[in-house]
Structure 1
């Protein structure tokens, strides 16, 4: 990690919020509050002047709100990591997910009666560090005088799947995949797909499900994305639209139907139960695992027990190590694991921890994961 502190711009119309957040971040080693802005319009000028690594951008502001300011901020500074600060409402869930599709790095739910200030502060600092280091790495990869590298494309939430074929493993992204020895893929037919993600996950999920949507008619898809309860129903709808398949927040006792995307409800774990040989969603309100609820580990662990060698698990971008134990369970049951590579991950915490287990069958750039899954469903194993 660089000795230079991460420079942060706080954008919020509330002077109280700006002051409190600036105080919190100023107390953290390695973080420096470069400035604060009252509106999105002011933030556009401040980004050019202050050159921050991260902007914490409120969704709702006068003059110019965060949604309108976001594309202008990214145009002024393509490597800026924008963290959207949003209230926990259904309307703001839709807005926040649209902002992610427009290039925001992540979002954070503002504190409420259910979200304590101490939890908000911890999550805010962790997310700033994660997305800020990623932004700094992107900036350092630039060659002097080179044109800005485009941000990884993801289909806009709500669109039907694109007609273009997904990028193949032989694309330019494939060169970024680590050269390492991995486990062999299972020879069993794919019976279910389980996907885990966190920071950067909604964009990655939309891109991946857009690519595999036409091919998942015979397998259920289970998605565990670290996200609050108010947001997961909207995420399910958007992923359904992106894939062209039904997307729904999983409900207790609901059959895990083929061709359907089942999303773990925010604040609860999605697990798999077998009844008479059929698989059903079981919603677990137990304690967090790896400080997460929903957690990827319970989903992977119970899906591995239910589907055995027919489970294909995919670990996408995210901070922390949630899912690593679940990956081991998948491998022990004879299933297969694919991890997203570091070059295309917003944060390589969760996929990196999965790779470190030695249980992955492949480590691939995001554009190549979809085409590999399509081939695996079709019966290829090479």
Structure 2
């Protein structure tokens, strides 16, 4: 729990780092702006994922204990896959380390023309991964960047503010009907699916509270599939760390439209679920670690502010 007496969650994470412990940490946070800010700091300090404490007045998901259990179980399974096994087998780390090309779909032509939109989908481990990537990006970015990160309301607004501070690129939650602009980061607001509508020259954000997809809202698939329908081979999508298979169907749509897909490699993922699903489907062009992904983004934006990047 991030709000504990004597030693709070942030102090605990700092102490674990000081003592050299390497482990997955799942934190509990209150559903408030202050709680969101503390949670973002906890993720920066090494927490793997978080769960929002249920609002006492919300009984739509059952009792508070039932709601916590429903949220907690899949995250425990994803973060601690060997828990309960008498003879645990080390997780395979056999995925390609830096770059691999898929043969399941035609190679993207995006490298020759440049993207008109950059899409990112992520879940467990995503906030820290995105912070690492965007710490190497500086404005101006030559196209819009649209992100769906599995997060509840309030947290997505705080996360967008954090990305803006880190990168210097204006970032905010996407608003229904808002036109896409270059050199802007749009984050799907919690509890809303975010799609793109319109044309390549007048693309806009559309938000809805339709049924959960892959048990989440916002989901990555609606963003990817809708962008593929508009931008075709001028889409460039990244699938980062996360549990489940959200984003996989969307990457198929992007590849069928001739767009480009890059997935995060297993070694650098907290959970290889989402990139792993795309890998198994063959709907990708390249696999890269976080530095490699940042290099690709820098290659298209043409700017870097840290040593070790291309530009």
| TM-score over 0.5 (shorter chain) | yes
Looking at structure 2, the residues matched to 332 and 377 of structure 1 have their Cα atoms a distance apart, in angstroms, of 25
- Quote the residue 1:37 is aligned against: none
Give me the TM-score of the superposition, normalised by structure 1: 0.70
1:162-221 Cα shifts (integer Å, max 9, x gaps): xxxxxxxxxxxx9723756455232432111000000000001111122233462x2000
CA RMSD of aligned residues (A): 2.4
- Quote the residue 1:196 is aligned against: 121
> How far off is 1:79 after superposition?
1.8
- Quote the residue 2:74 is aligned against: 126
Looking at structure 2, the residues matched to 175 and 228 of structure 1 have their Cα atoms a distance apart, in angstroms, of 32
- Quote the residue 2:166 is aligned against: 242
Q: Which has the higher contact order (CA 8 A, sep 6+)?
A: 2
Instruction: Map 1:118-197 onto structure 2 (within 5 A).
Output: 118-133=66-81, 176-177=97-98, 181-182=102-103, 183-187=106-110, 188-197=113-122
**Aligned to 2:138, what secondary structure does the other structure show?**
helix
**Aligned to 1:272, what secondary structure does the other structure show?**
strand
Q: Tell me which of 208, 216, 219 is aligned to 2:133.
A: 208
Looking at structure 2, the residues matched to 184 and 307 of structure 1 have their Cα atoms a distance apart, in angstroms, of 16
> How far off is 1:134 after superposition?
9.0
Looking at structure 2, the residues matched to 230 and 111 of structure 1 have their Cα atoms a distance apart, in angstroms, of 14
Residues 278/285 of structure 1: CA separation in 2 closer, same or farther (3 Å cut): same
Instruction: Map 1:368-379 onto structure 2 (within 5 A).
Output: 368-376=292-300
**Aligned to 1:326, what secondary structure does the other structure show?**
helix
Looking at structure 1, the residues matched to 32 and 194 of structure 2 have their Cα atoms a distance apart, in angstroms, of 22
Instruction: Map 1:245-256 onto structure 2 (within 5 A).
Output: 245-256=169-180
Residues 269/130 of structure 1: CA separation in 2 closer, same or farther (3 Å cut): same
Give me the TM-score of the superposition, normalised by structure 2: 0.85
Instruction: Map 1:26-105 onto structure 2 (within 5 A).
Output: 58-76=1-19, 78-105=21-48
Looking at structure 1, the residues matched to 200 and 24 of structure 2 have their Cα atoms a distance apart, in angstroms, of 48
> How far off is 1:363 after superposition?
0.7
Return structure 1 stretches of 4+ with deviation > 6 angstroms.
none
- Quote the residue 2:190 is aligned against: 266
Structure 2: give runs of 5+ residues left out of the alignment.
Answer: 84-89, 303-311
Structure 1: give runs of 5+ residues left out of the alignment.
Answer: 1-57, 142-173
- Quote the residue 2:291 is aligned against: 367
Looking at structure 2, the residues matched to 235 and 134 of structure 1 have their Cα atoms a distance apart, in angstroms, of 31
Q: Tell me which of 107, 120, 133 is aligned to 2:50.
A: 107
> How far off is 1:73 after superposition?
2.5
1:71-108 Cα shifts (integer Å, max 9, x gaps): 11333352221111001001000000011001111111
Looking at structure 1, the residues matched to 155 and 138 of structure 2 have their Cα atoms a distance apart, in angstroms, of 22
Is 1:134–1:347's contact at 8 Å kept on the other side of the alignment?
no
